[in-house]
Amino acid sequence: MTRLPIPETIEFIKAPGRDAIADNAPVEQLVAEVLARVKAEGDAAVRDYSARFDKAELERFEVTAEEREAALARLDPQTRADTEFAIENVRRFAEAQLGTLSELEIEIRPGVHLGHRNIPLERVGCYVPGGRYPLLSAPIMSIVPAKVAGVTEVIACLPPNAHEAMIAGCHLSGADRIFRIGGAQAIAAMALGTESVPPVDKIVGPGNAFVNEAKRQIFGPVGIDQLAGPSEIFILADHTGDAEMLATDLLAQAEHDTRTRVGLITTSATLAAETLKEVDRQLETLSTAETAGQAWRDYGEIVLCPDEATMIAYSDLVAAEHLQVHTEDAKGFAKKLRHYGSLFIGTNASVVYSDKCCGTNHTLPTMGAGRYTGGLWVGTYIKTVTHQWMDEEGVHQVAPPACRQSASEGLEGHRRAAQLRLDRLQA
């Protein structure tokens, strides 16, 4: 939730009942213990925490080739076809994104050649959450872009009690190795390495508070994609908005988790009132109302703004993970927005399409992180590294100012390194 000042001219038709920022101290302490034990004890600690937290007694963590094939064989044919449809869309978009990442070499001055290369990461760990439901899209979003990027080895970890279809999803998405390990112990195993799990260079994928905290604590020696909070959806709507559609989309996201943050930002008092009533009406028949209803009560909001400029200002302040635009000129309005995770322009573009299968990634920044970063994409798995080389003219160009700068800073070793090359050329 943003800590920046809220525009004074807005009116909360429905304000959130709770602050999305919770006390994390107990989680921090437990995760620190998990990381320390996995570092010291390896598989034994992972096995202990799997029994303790997931009620799973496992002698072997890795899913065998036979188990992968069996899970695939038992996958419902239509589910497999839909999964492959999503994989193909995500792959196509990732390949197109990869095509925009050019390498570079330029002679910036006579004899001074600078450049950069895009190098895929060597080994990546993808955390695949179990969650309340078997989210078959989860492995697709993290594993497929990694394979498109050219990552040498992709490790997938998912909770031992995850639906078997999730194993099939990891397999179809291209995971090189799959492990039945969940929670903070999975992050610890991938970050630190154990007898069974090789250490990775970067960990991606969303998870619960313990997974998120584990990623935060291991960041540094190991890279991470982002720290993901509870899911979010906000919708920007003017007088043309449809209350039924708005309520449907808000509740669709709210059923993810009781801490999901959902909101409508509108210039229409009539639409605000109609949407408020429509949410209550739909909750009466929604099968996931226990989860969605609590999320709406605790974190739902409807904000009335006096004009379009205030709508944009408040939206950019929130920097929502998912941001839908339901206005008369949706494409024109969208161009004025700056901060969000992913944008859904017009009433035909629903978050659910991106969540499942249309091709854009659903692992996105939350809790205001959209103000400084985007979501998971093929570039997440690539490091852009620079290089330089010089001919004699280049040394004549840069050595004299480098010598002078080094001397003015009192760094004699630096001055000597620059001067040595110049002296040898002049000799």
pLDDT tier, 54 (very low <50, low <70, confident <90, very high otherwise): very high
Q: Where are the domains of the chain?
A: 11-20+230-359, 25-103+130-226, 391-426
Contact status, residue 189 vs residue 50, Cβ threshold 8 Å: no
Mean pLDDT value across residues 201-206: 96
Contact status, residue 215 vs residue 24, Cβ threshold 8 Å: no
Q: What confidence tens digit (pLDDT) does each residue in 263-303 have? A: 999 999 999 999 999 999 999 999 999 999 999 999 999 99
pLDDT value, residue 114: 98
Please report which helix (H) or strand (E) contains residue 52, including its range: helix 43-54
The pLDDT of residue 3 is above 90: no
Contact status, residue 268 vs residue 235, Cβ threshold 8 Å: no
Mean pLDDT value across residues 113-117: 98
Contact status, residue 114 vs residue 386, Cβ threshold 8 Å: yes
Q: What confidence tens digit (pLDDT) does each residue in 402-411 have? A: 999 999 999 9
Residue listed under structure tokens 């929604």:
286
Query: Would residue 322 show up in a list of annotated catalytic residues for this protein?
Result: yes
Q: What confidence tens digit (pLDDT) does each residue in 128-172 have? A: 998 666 788 999 999 999 999 999 999 999 999 999 999 999 999
How does strand 261-266 pair with strand 301-304? parallel
Beta-sheet strand order (sheet of 261-266): 11-14, 301-304, 261-266, 232-237, 322-326, 342-345
Q: What confidence tens digit (pLDDT) does each residue in 339-389 have? A: 999 999 999 999 999 999 999 999 999 999 999 999 999 999 999 999 999
C-alpha 15: how far from its chain's center? 27
DSSP assigned state of 200: -
Mean pLDDT value across residues 316-338: 97
Domain range 11-20+230-359, CATH architecture: 3-Layer(aba) Sandwich (3.40)
Which is catalytic among the residues 171, 301, 321, 362?
321
Q: What confidence tens digit (pLDDT) does each residue in 65-107 have? A: 999 999 999 999 999 999 999 999 999 999 999 999 999 999 9
pLDDT value, residue 8: 80
pLDDT value, residue 133: 64
Structure tokens at 121: 């990461």
The pLDDT of residue 332 is above 60: yes
The pLDDT of residue 20 is above 70: no
Mean pLDDT value across residues 29-34: 96
Is residue 215 packed enough to be buried (19+ CB in 10 Å), middle (13-18) or exposed (0-12)?
Answer: buried
Detail the DSSP E strand segments found in 121-241. 123-127, 153-158, 177-180, 202-204, 223-224, 232-237
pLDDT value, residue 22: 61
Fold: same for 11-20+230-359 and 25-103+130-226: yes
pLDDT tier, 25 (very low <50, low <70, confident <90, very high otherwise): confident
What mean pLDDT, rounded, does the chain reach?
Answer: 95
Q: Domain 25-103+130-226 has what CATH class?
A: alpha beta
Secondary structure percentages of the chain, helix, strand, coil, to 5:
50, 20, 35
Range name among 20-29, 173-182, 387-396, 416-425 with the lowest pLDDT average: 20-29
Mean pLDDT value across residues 109-122: 98
Which is catalytic among the residues 171, 322, 339, 362?
322
